[in-house]
Amino acid sequence: MVANVQMAIGFEKNLNNKKIGMPETAHSVDKNFVTSEIYVAANEPITFRFLKPNTVLKGGAYDIVLKDGCYMKKTLIPEPDADYELIFTDVPQCLATAHKIVKTNESMTMVPVEYKDTTDCGRKR
């Protein structure tokens, strides 16, 4: 499973740019993304938290906090022997998507996978 994010939040630093031999995709080779390939258990729910903190502009006597942050918590159940690409981006808006990477000798297809929204402390985000 590869999770592509524009920020390293959510991954331990030692996992950034880790490769385990997954097929390359347009996002995984894009240098504007931080990518990490990890093994996860099949047929068990796995939850990913995506966070983009508010931007803080420092200057003068006051800091300006832009309310441009977002948080998403999504769960999916991966199939055995399958590769997935998870993408979180905040450009132009906060968005999290998941695709199953289906590769044959001749082609590669990105099949959309539905995430389930997950709650924190009983609140849906």
The tens digit of pLDDT for each residue in 16-38 reads: 677 888 888 888 888 877 788 88
Q: What is the mean pLDDT of the chain?
A: 79
The Cα–Cα gap between 36 and 2 comes to: 6
pTM for the model stands at: 0.71
Beta-bridge partner residues of 66: 55
As a whole number, mean pLDDT of residues 70-77 equals 86
DSSP 10: T
**Largest interatomic CA distance in the chain:** 60
Query: Residue 82: its pLDDT value, please?
Result: 92
Strands 2-5 and 83-89: parallel
Reported as a pLDDT band with limits 50, 70 and 90, residue 9 is very low
Please give the Cα distance from 7 to 91 (Å, whole number).
12
- What pLDDT sits at residue 52? 82
User: How much is the pLDDT for 53?
Assistant: 84
Q: Taking residues 52-77, what's their average pLDDT? A: 86
Rg, Å, the chain Cα set: 16
